[in-house]
Amino acid sequence: MTQTTSASFLDISLPTDGRTRRVATLGPAGTSSEQAAKFLNASINPSQDQPEPLLLPSYEEAAEAVLRGFAELLLVANAYHAISEFYMDTRLVLAGAYHFETPLYGIATVPHRTLDGPIRIASHPAPVPLIKQLVPGTLTVAEVVLARSTSAAALAAQSGEVDAALTTQPAAEQYGLSFISPTRPISMLWSVFRNADLAGRPAV
């Protein structure tokens, strides 16, 4: 299945200082957040100077990286169950939001592995509802094992910790997994935060 990415800015307000800005978000490589961060990079930074996203094990650690000056912007998926923490944190300010479709999601496992009976599936908490939509009719789910990211879920399947993972196409490719289900993107809103200490600078 070929994916056509849908993306559009609703609003983005950044200081007009011409600086390159690094985006901190949820990693490791292969997450939807990484892909959304790369889109943000391309939209706000000069084409010749786009730093790689700073990928961290949790959104909370990404926020701390922004507050400590290791990155300028925090990117969080609005489906994240604890996103309100960042909206309420007085050390951060909302810089904007935009729509960006995630990479394709599906249920994946180690190639040539035969699955039968109830299986254990790893997943980040946010896309768990997709499991019922995508799990093949020949299988039943015994347990959903929560992972810190879609990439961590893929790694759990690769290592044999679980039978399969709900993960993204980039993560499945990175960890050598094959999809055993249909795939689909998630239409997602993403919030961009910056350090509140910089909020007084002139905005675009």
Same domain, residue pair 56 and 112: no
Residues 95 and 119 in one domain: no
Coil, strand, or helix at residue 183? coil
Instruction: Please check whether residue 203 lies inside any domain of the structure.
Output: no
One domain for residues 16 and 96:
yes
How many of the other CB atoms lie within 10 Å of CB of 165? 31
Cα 186 to the chain's mean position, in Å? Answer: 11
Contact 164, 109 (CB under 8 A): yes
CA distances from 64 to 14, 39, 48, 73, 186 (A): 19, 22, 27, 11, 27
Note whether 133 and 148 are same-domain residues.
Answer: yes
191 and 164 inside one domain: no
Chain center to CA of 35 = 7
Question: Same structural domain for residues 42 and 91?
Answer: yes
Residue 118 lies in a domain: yes
Q: What is the pLDDT of residue 201?
A: 44
- Distance, in Å, from the CA atom of 167 to the CA atom of 105, rounded to the nearest integer, reads 5
Q: Encode the chain (204 residues) as per-residue pLDDT tens digits.
A: 445 455 555 556 666 566 778 999 999 999 999 999 999 988 887 666 778 999 999 999 999 999 999 999 999 999 999 999 999 999 999 999 999 999 999 999 999 888 988 999 999 999 999 999 999 999 999 999 999 999 999 999 999 999 999 999 999 999 999 999 999 999 999 999 999 987 544 333
Is residue 2 domain-resident? no
> Based on the structure, what is the number of domains in the chain?
2
Q: Is 171:122 a contact under the CB 8 Å cutoff?
A: no
Residue 129 belongs to domain spanning: 105-179
Shared domain check, 98 and 109: no
Instruction: Supply φ then ψ for residue 174, to 5 degrees.
Output: -65, -35
Q: Model's pTM, two decimal places? A: 0.83
pLDDT of residue 45: 78
Q: Are residues 30 and 97 in the same domain?
A: yes
Q: Note whether 131 and 148 are same-domain residues.
A: yes
Statement to judge: residues 114 and 175 lie in one domain: yes
Does 1 map to a domain?
Answer: no
Asked whether residue 70 is domain-assigned, the answer is yes
Q: Rounded to an integer, what distance in angstroms lies between the CA atom of residue 157 and that of residue 167?
A: 10
Is residue 152 assigned to a domain? yes
Whether residue 128 is contained in a domain is answered as: yes
Same domain? For 136 and 93 the reply is no
78 & 127 share domain? no
Residues 6+ apart with CB under 8 A from 142: 117, 118, 119, 120
CATH of the domain at 140: 3.40.190.10
